[in-house]
C-alpha cells in the first residue's frame, strides 16, 4: 500500500480549515453539483439524491478527519488507498461550493490559471481563493503520488 505524507504549515492551513469546515457545514443537505432529476420518477430521484448526499457527507467527514489532534501536533496529513478517493471527492465538492459562494465573481479561467488579483477580492474572497488553491494542491498531490490503481478502485 502506497502512502503519501505531507507536512503542512499550521499557521497557513489552520485559518483555511475554519473556512473549509464552514463550507462543509453549508454543503450538508445540498449537493455541491446539483443533478437534474427530471427524467427520473420522484421516488427514484429522491433515493438517488439521498445516496449522493450521503456519499458527499461521508467524503467530507473523511477529509476533516485528516486534520485531527495528530495534525495539530505534527502538521502532517497522510493519504493512502483508504482515504484518497474520498479526499479527492471532498476537495472537489468544497471547491465547487467556494467557487459558487466566495469566488462567484471569478471566471473558471481565472481560478484555474492563477489570473486572480488578490487585492481586488477583499478579505473573504482572498481566504476563499487560498482555500480553493489549497484544496487543488491536495488533489494534485494525491493524483501525482498515489498509484492509479488506488484511484480506480
Q: How is residue 35 annotated by DSSP? A: -
pLDDT, the chain, mean: 87
CA 109 – CA 2 distance, rounded (Å): 33
Q: How many CA atoms lie within 13 A of 32 on its CB side?
A: 20
pLDDT tens readout for residues 49-72: 889 999 999 999 999 999 999 999
Find the distance separating the first CA and the last CA of the chain, reported in whole Å: 13
pLDDT tens readout for residues 10-61: 999 999 999 999 999 999 889 898 776 666 677 877 787 889 999 999 999 9
Residue 149, pLDDT score: 53
Number of structural domains (the chain) is 1
Beta bridge partners of 6: 77
Task: Give the residue, 73 or 153, on which the prediction is more confident.
Answer: 73
Residues found in the chain: 153
Range of the domain at 17: 3-152
CA 59 – CA 63 distance, rounded (Å): 6
Ranges of beta strands (E only) in the chain are: 3-7, 76-80
Q: To which H or E segment does residue 73 belong?
A: helix 69-74
CA 116 – CA 32 distance, rounded (Å): 23
CA 98 – CA 52 distance, rounded (Å): 19
Amino acid at each position: 500500500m502506497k502512502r503519501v505524507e505531507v507536512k503542512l504549515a499550521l499557521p497557513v492551513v489552520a485559518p483555511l480549515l475554519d473556512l473549509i469546515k464552514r463550507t462543509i457545514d453549508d454543503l450538508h443537505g445540498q449537493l455541491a453539483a446539483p443533478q437534474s432529476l427530471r427524467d427520473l420518477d420522484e421516488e427514484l430521484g429522491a433515493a438517488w439524491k439521498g445516496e449522493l448526499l450521503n456519499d458527499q457527507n461521508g467524503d467530507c467527514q473523511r477529509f476533516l478527519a485528516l486534520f485531527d489532534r495528530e495534525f495539530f501536533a505534527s502538521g502532517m496529513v497522510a493519504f493512502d488507498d483508504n482515504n484518497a478517493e474520498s479526499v479527492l471527492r471532498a476537495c472537489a465538492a468544497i471547491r465547487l461550493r467556494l467557487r459558487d459562494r466566495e469566488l462567484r465573481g471569478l471566471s473558471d479561467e481565472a481560478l484555474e490559471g492563477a489570473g486572480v488579483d488578490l487585492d481586488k477580492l477583499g478579505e473573504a474572497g482572498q481566504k476563499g481563493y487560498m482555500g480553493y488553491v489549497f484544496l487543488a494542491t491536495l488533489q494534485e498531490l494525491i493524483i501525482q503520488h498515489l498509484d492509479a490503481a488506488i484511484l480506480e478502485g
